[in-house]
Amino acid sequence: MTIRTAESCRHWAIVIGLTALIAACAEQPAPAVDGDVAFVGVNVVDVEGGAIVPQQTVVIAGDRIASISPSADTSLADTVMVVNASGQFLAPGIMDMHTHPVTNDDLALALGHGVTTMRVMWGNPLTLGQRASIEAGEIPGPRLITAGDLVDGEPPIWAQYGLPANSYTDPEAMDAMVAEEKAAGYDFVKTYSRLTPEVFEAILSAGQRHGMEVSGHVPQGVLLRDAIEGGMRTSEHFIGVLAEVLSDETLGTPDLSVFDPGALEIVLRVARGEVDADTFVDPEKVEDFASWAAEQEHWFVPTHDIMRNFTNNTQRSFPGALRFMSAAELGLFDDIESGSFFRLTPPQKTGESILYEIRTQVLKEFHEAGAKIMAGTDHGRLAPLLIVEEIKALHNAGFSTAAALRAATSEPARYLGMPGELGVVAEGAIADLILLDANPLDDLDALKRMQGVMARGAWYDRVTLDAMLDDLSARLTASGALE
């Protein structure tokens, strides 16, 4: 007689009534779990629940999480590669929802720091090629979600910095533009600050007709509420929020003072004390607008940490950054951090510092109202080194550690229409994972101390990551000629 399952054991025990058979049934081992890779003894980080599930075995098959079960109750097939993760923590891979990578090296650097998804906010045909190469397994890198070229008005902002920039002034031409972007394979159209309200409205309408997302900057002449009601999916840098909640509605937007003379005048008036910072926003308007925004299918990407570069408390270079930058890149980074790149004056930085604190409080209230918020760095080469700082900036603004983590994991998954598939450690989810030496729910800096990264089921242990990063460092610091 062959006893194959616990159920058959119970059946024969009842039929035959043998005590010995019952004992034999109790000793039947659980069937071995098959798969490709297993993390054994690991503490699973439940970002949704803000909790740790201890001592689990997480089995990966292909690019999916096949099973999660207590390690004490799990046996593995001999063919499974075992990662001894006792005492370590398995969390979802980080998702940076506002980035500007350029080269293949930038993408490899991101993966090497645990960023498994990047939303590229200024793409081109090269970006589409990189995405295809990553998906084919030809180059290492994160999942890419990408816009095409910036869609700006006249004159385009970045032309003054020597960058190629398109400008659009004809509403009638926007349907064809949006259709072309979708046909080329881009995921969304990124709008910018100098579009006229008429052109912007035409882009939103074309997006709805062609099933193409429209996201980016709310143009300076457009109210954020109107943009959201028109179907804008995400807004960047918290642009347009303060203009909706001003106590004095005649002031206008204080956003983007480096590009907008009107906004600059407001910032300087704040710096001079001519506009009272304590009454700059109306608390009732903040509450009403935040509650309304929470009900919309709209996500805010505040890029809160990098916005400090317009204030007196700028970002500074972080440990490990120097080894991935050429001398020319370091000089540019210093210029941005010091304010000289944008020609910021001391009074302007003082006004921006005051407004930064106001935005921080409004961001906290938006979060508490349930508005949808995602983490993004607005950086290129150093984005993977700065994403943890952005997550920490959200935490410092009043998010719990779990909520700050969700802004870089499960919340982006919801935005992408993939809840339960991305941004979580759960059975059936895509195996985008990071292995940490400490609990990120206790200390977000644990995200900087990775023991390994898994992207779509491909495992990179610490030794492999170190070798990849050392190679990148040697090439990136040697010259400005990047691959």
Which residues, 6+ apart, have CB-to-CB distance to 109 below 8 Å?
324, 381, 384, 469, 472
Instruction: Flag whether pLDDT at 12 surpasses 70.
Output: no
For residue 338, what pLDDT is reported? 73
Please tell me the distance from the alpha carbon of residue 129 to that of residue 431, in angstroms, as a whole number.
23
Among residues 39, 128, 134, the alpha carbon closest in space to that of 87 is found at 39
Average pLDDT for the chain: 92
Burial classification of residue 356, based on how many CB atoms lie within 10 Å of its CB (0-12 exposed, 13-18 middle, 19 or more buried) = middle
For residue 332, what pLDDT is reported? 76
Among residues 311, 305, 187, the alpha carbon closest in space to that of 258 is found at 311
Instruction: Flag whether pLDDT at 138 surpasses 50.
Output: yes
pLDDT tens for each residue of 378-387: 998 889 999 9
Instruction: Flag whether pLDDT at 49 surpasses 90.
Output: yes
In order of 3, 23, 28, 29, 31, the CA distances from 12 in angstroms are 9, 12, 14, 17, 19
Lowest-pLDDT range, 8-17, 114-123, 351-360, 407-416?
8-17
pLDDT tens for each residue of 70-98: 999 999 999 999 999 999 999 999 999 99
Q: Whole-structure pTM over 0.85, yes or no?
A: yes
pLDDT tens for each residue of 453-480: 999 999 999 999 999 999 999 988 776 5
pLDDT band at residue 16 using 50, 70 and 90 as cut-offs: very low
For residue 26, what pLDDT is reported? 52
pLDDT tens for each residue of 103-131: 999 999 999 999 999 999 999 999 999 99
pLDDT band at residue 394 using 50, 70 and 90 as cut-offs: very high
SS (H, E, C) 172-211: HHHHHHHHHHHHHCCCEEEECCCCCHHHHHHHHHHHHHHC
Burial classification of residue 128, based on how many CB atoms lie within 10 Å of its CB (0-12 exposed, 13-18 middle, 19 or more buried) = middle
pLDDT tens for each residue of 285-321: 999 999 999 999 999 999 999 999 999 998 876 667 7
Average pLDDT over residues 133-138: 96
Average pLDDT over residues 372-379: 97
Average pLDDT over residues 252-280: 96
Instruction: Flag whether pLDDT at 11 surpasses 70.
Output: no
pLDDT band at residue 482 using 50, 70 and 90 as cut-offs: very low
pLDDT tens for each residue of 314-358: 887 666 777 888 777 777 777 777 778 888 999 999 999 999 999
Cα torsion 128, 181, 159, 243 to 10°: value is -110
Instruction: Flag whether pLDDT at 481 surpasses 60.
Output: no
Tell me how crowded residue 294 is: count the other CB atoms within 10 A of its CB. 15
371 and 363 in contact (C-beta within 8 Å)?
Answer: no
